[in-house]
Structure 1
């Protein structure tokens, strides 16, 4: 049989339903199922392509989840930069721990780069939020305060205690000759966690002028109001500081400032050290009202002829005569002979330090090995002040933030002090005759 005839016979068998035989049915079934399977395959492929385009190129299905996770390392590899060193595993874990800490610890980490904070403004209002951000909650605190008249160099001396003196307290001269630079209290925390407090000048008429421009003297005369605010400032420094620097200009001690210092020390009698903490928590049966800070006297801007042993001895005798009957701690911390060996050591070791005028002693003289520069003297002075003993026991565990909260309460107690009120009435009686 010819091949053409065979094709014709198969065609006739597929077109007539009555055709029977063992060969005709299987061949018809194979032919039909093959066409159907090929059509189904095309349909599934078309649906699959259409769904992938709708889904943005991603295949949809429950079993496709692991495939998306396996693609993550590819993205991480793209982020690598050949020009940056990779963090060690230990340091990387440390960063993760810091990121997982609460807001309080995060605030303490930000304290590392300190800036000058206005702790109290010119209206005697504490800036609580800004101050607490600059302080830490770790146990222990150490405070250095400073007092003195206008223009004696308080900010310059206190700035030398910081890591970058030119970026700490403002040491520029005010625009007006009778104005002052520091208003209220400025605070700076060093890398050693030393709290530095720079205050506005005491016994200053410029403070009165500024008060009259923005407020009032509460009905007090100008001189009484000036003395009252000076006492408030000195009492506060004596109550919250571990070391208080009393700065005067020139070779002679400032008698007016020393008298105010003695008066403030007597008027602060009865003020507790930490008014918000019970004495039992500090290990005392009753408040210890006899604790005193170390008071250091600084004669700044001494001229060449005044920078001598004679000037030093004369100031020691003056301090002894004025402070021998007071409770002020003015001995045992500073040794000026350690900074300048050509000065004789004093047996009672008074807290007295002389500093030359800024334009003098700026460099060492090759012919005089004992002559120190101003920067060297300030550095040695700073080291001796920072070496002051810290508070012991539970008093030494008070954190910086708790110290500040107690300081705010202390100032409120000073303003409402009965001794201050009685002193004010006495001044009025004396003035009125």
Structure 2
């Protein structure tokens, strides 16, 4: 805080500008006494910067613009288009901050991937599905056995959670289209799964019936052709892996959609967990220990105590909106492990993901795998 010495010669209450000033070129009183002349702090900081710099430094609109929240997305955009080319349109929604969570989804055709991702990201169960951020399968597409999603769709929330919706795995409609048009993309579903296993913190696997062995074989194959985590000394995705030998693997969450009442029985849930443990016993994917319906206690005693059926509105399980809300809170609380050898900002993640996608498309392991099958 800068203080001005009291002028004993001035009258009390006299403003500083009204005080008599010394005439002539002689030194002022402050200079004669050896004191340092004072001036407002903002003038000292802006000295020599010009009038324009001074005005912009104190412009309140400039400060407010830096505090504005990022632009809110209203619908998803393409990260990978129909021709499996990388898109740059998502870059304008990303920021230079590291506190982010990346959630991807895999599932069979018509299992409800886009609906679940919309409910986890920006929509509620009361809204019309036509307004969801990820477009769900229309009735017309269902009747002709087609697929709604193609490539990879991108959406980021205000909480800085990136959601990636993908085209269905093992889809007969996509397979038929690729056979008749572009055979080089026959294994695109494997490429997408291997890509998600490298750039996502959490990968949700949606299934509408339990359990499809082909789905687990597909996940194991995608894990096998997954690109190695780039090391600190290699910038390209073709490196041999991390120097310390540590490979990155995401958390994988199995979601049973379109469940029946019997699926909520504690005994059935334990059987499901046992089956998943046996099928994923040799996998490095983190599929247990972080999120489980048995640990959230949202339907205690269901299927055990028949007195619960006498309660009004009881259906053997909580409502759909309650289940979605619980799943969303648990997904957002998942650990945000480091994806690469360095801490990535949102924009760094975008460039990192672009390199990974290019490396997946040129993967020698996937090429050898497709050659052996064909």
TM-score by length of 2: 0.71
Q: Does residue 1:185 correspond to 2:152, yes or no?
A: yes
* 1:125 matches 2:85: yes
Determine which of 211, 219, 223 is the counterpart of 1:253.
211
More helix by share: 1
Q: In structure 2, the residue corresponding to 1:234 is in which secondary structure?
A: helix
Q: CA deviation at 1:413?
A: 1.1
Alignment of 1:374 onto 2:374: no
SS of the residue corresponding to residue 187 of structure 1 reads strand
RMSD: 3.2
SS in 2 for 1:171: coil
The 3-state SS of whatever aligns with 1:160 is helix
Q: Say how many residue pairs are matched.
A: 298
> 1:304-326, CA deviations, whole angstroms, 9 ceiling, x for partnerless residues?
23332232122111111111122
Match of 2:22 in 1: none
Looking at structure 2, the residues matched to 160 and 253 of structure 1 have their Cα atoms a distance apart, in angstroms, of 24
- In the alignment, is residue 175 of structure 1 matched against residue 140 of structure 2? yes
**Structure 1 residue 269: Cα displacement:** 5.1
Cα distance change on mapping 1:384 and 1:235 into 2, 3 Å:
same
Q: How does 1:2-401 map to 2 (within 5 A)?
A: 94-98=60-64, 109-128=69-88, 130-165=89-124, 166-173=131-138, 175-176=140-141, 177-211=144-178, 215-218=181-184, 226=186, 228-250=187-209, 252-268=210-226, 270-272=228-230, 277=235, 286=243, 289-337=246-294, 338-342=296-300, 366=312, 368=314, 371-391=317-337, 397-401=343-347
Give the unaligned 5+ runs of structure 1. Answer: 1-91, 219-224, 345-363, 429-433
> What CA distance in whole angstroms lies between the structure 2 residues aligned with 1:371 and 1:285?
45
Conserved 8 A contact 1:272-1:288:
no
Give the deviation of 1:144 after TM superposition. 0.2
Q: Which runs of 5+ in 2 are unaligned?
A: 1-57, 125-130, 303-309
Question: How far is 1:339 from its partner?
Answer: 4.5
Contact 2:100/2:160, CA 8 A, preserved across alignment: yes
Contact 1:184 1:200 in 2 (8 A): yes
Contact 1:239 1:273 in 2 (8 A): no
- TM-score, normalised with respect to structure 1: 0.62
Change (3 A) 1:322 1:393: closer
Q: Distance in 2 between matches of 1:173 and 1:365?
A: 36
Matched with 2:368 is 422
Aligned-residue offset at 1:127: 1.3
2:264, 2:317 within 8 Å by CA — same for their partners in 1? no
* Contact 2:170–2:189 (8 Å) recurs in 1: yes
**Alpha-carbon displacement from aligned partner over 1:60-102 (angstroms, at most 9, x marks no partner):** xxxxxxxxxxxxxxxxxxxxxxxxxxxxxxxx96533355x7x
What is the alpha-carbon distance in structure 1 between the residues aligned to residue 83 and residue 301 of structure 2? 44
User: Which is higher, the Rg of structure 1 or of structure 2?
Assistant: 1
